[in-house]
């Protein structure tokens, strides 16, 4: 009797165990099925609409700042304008806007990439340099902090399918101390013919100049008064052929221009500049990348 009871109990628990296992199994398959369906749907959506990746680089970094004038720091100004441009572009569902830094500091993906790939970045730059300069001697150079950061950003952009790059700056040069006349206006820098992104960058620069001319004048400084200046040595636009995608530097104004001093006039300029910039980026994408 006792044995029968134990046997019965064992059968009971075995049935319960099999039932639980079986129902959990069915449930998990259903869950997996649902998961798979969801994953398939996402994959179809993202491949149907390939997002264009825009990298916005607010020029200079805190502590290694650029120009300054009467309490204004270029690295703060570039971030302020970058956020306004980002604020417009994120409304475009076709775009994936990546900021190099924002109010929370550096984009961790990029800063972490640079700090953990220092040697690889140096090797990559040296290889590009040797090919571009046609030197047969492998001339290995170590990179200082700022070039490492700039080249590291180019390498990261290259490996992360960035489609277009905007570098935001404010001009300070040439400023002749003691001279009454200061320069005014914008200048766009792009790379020369030695870089594979030269043509695309020049078209992007022309689109940008077209839009900026609606809100301000080209620089009146010698050499910068053409509006677009070609410079083969600027890392951010791809010196040593380190970028394959269009990249420009926009010096939106001279930091010491009168309208830059008061918050209200500066902000109203930033609103207009952000709108012009976003339009230029969207136009370039519509004409060149979406075909």
Cis check for the bond before 174: say yes or no (omega within 30 of 0). Answer: yes
Residue found under tokens 């001009």: 171
Question: Smallest gap, in angstroms, from Cβ of residue 249 to Zn ion?
Answer: 8
Judged by beta carbon, residue 19 or residue 64, the one nearer Zn ion is 64
Question: Smallest gap, in angstroms, from Cβ of residue 214 to Zn ion?
Answer: 23
Judged by beta carbon, residue 170 or residue 204, the one nearer Zn ion is 170
Residue found under tokens 């990298």: 55
Question: Smallest gap, in angstroms, from Cβ of residue 60 to Zn ion?
Answer: 6
For residue 45 the two structure tokens come to 């959506």
Question: Smallest gap, in angstroms, from Cβ of residue 66 to Zn ion?
Answer: 4
For residue 109 the two structure tokens come to 């993906």
- Residue from 54, 82, 62, 53 nearest 252 by CA: 82
Judged by beta carbon, residue 159 or residue 231, the one nearer Zn ion is 231
E strand map for 156-207: 164-171, 187-190
| Whole-number Cα distances in Å, 261 to 70, 79, 131, 153, 265 | 8, 16, 45, 31, 8
Strand partners, 105: 102
In the complex, which residues of this chain contact Zn ion (CB under 5 A)? 59, 66, 169
Judged by beta carbon, residue 155 or residue 169, the one nearer Zn ion is 169
Question: Smallest gap, in angstroms, from Cβ of residue 252 to Zn ion?
Answer: 10
Judged by beta carbon, residue 95 or residue 167, the one nearer Zn ion is 167
Question: Smallest gap, in angstroms, from Cβ of residue 165 to Zn ion?
Answer: 15
The answer to whether 273 and 215 are in contact (CB under 8 A) is yes
Judged by beta carbon, residue 52 or residue 235, the one nearer Zn ion is 235
**Residue 114: is it exposed, middle or buried by C-beta count within 10 angstroms (0-12/13-18/19+)?**
buried
Question: Smallest gap, in angstroms, from Cβ of residue 181 to Zn ion?
Answer: 21
Judged by beta carbon, residue 58 or residue 246, the one nearer Zn ion is 58
Specify whether the backbone of 241 is left (phi greater than 0), alpha (psi in -120 to 50) or beta. Answer: left
């Amino acid at each position: 009797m006792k044995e029968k009871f134990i046997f019965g109990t064992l059968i009971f628990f075995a049935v319960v165990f099999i039932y639980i296992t079986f129902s959990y199994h069915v449930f998990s398959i259903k869950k997996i099925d649902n998961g798979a369906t969801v994953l398939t749907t996402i994959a179809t959506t993202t491949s149907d609409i390939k997002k264009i990746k825009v990298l916005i680089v607010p020029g200079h970094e805190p502590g290694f700042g650029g120009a300054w004038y009467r309490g204004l720091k270029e690295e703060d100004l570039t971030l302020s304008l970058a956020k306004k441009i980002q604020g417009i572009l994120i409304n475009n569902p076709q775009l994936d806007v990546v900021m190099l830094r924002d109010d929370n500091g550096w984009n961790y993906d990029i800063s972490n990439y640079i700090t953990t790939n220092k040697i690889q970045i140096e090797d990559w730059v040296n290889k590009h340099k040797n090919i571009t300069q046609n030197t047969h001697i492998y001339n290995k150079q170590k990179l200082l902090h700022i070039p490492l950061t700039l080249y590291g950003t180019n390498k990261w952009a290259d490996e992360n399918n960035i489609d277009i790059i905007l570098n935001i700056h404010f001009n300070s040069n040439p400023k002749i101390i003691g001279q009454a006349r200061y320069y005014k206006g914008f200048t766009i820098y792009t790379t020369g013919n030695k870089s594979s992104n030269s043509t695309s960058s020049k078209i992007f620069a022309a689109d940008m100049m077209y839009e900026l001319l609606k809100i301000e004048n080209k620089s009146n400084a010698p050499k910068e008064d053409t509006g677009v200046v070609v410079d083969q040595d600027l890392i951010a636009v791809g010196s040593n052929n380190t970028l394959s995608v269009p990249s420009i530097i926009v010096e939106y104004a001279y930091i010491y221009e009168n309208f830059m001093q008061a918050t209200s006039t500066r902000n109203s300029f930033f609103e207009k500049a952000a709108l012009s910039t976003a339009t230029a980026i969207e136009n370039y994408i519509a004409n060149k990348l979406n075909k």
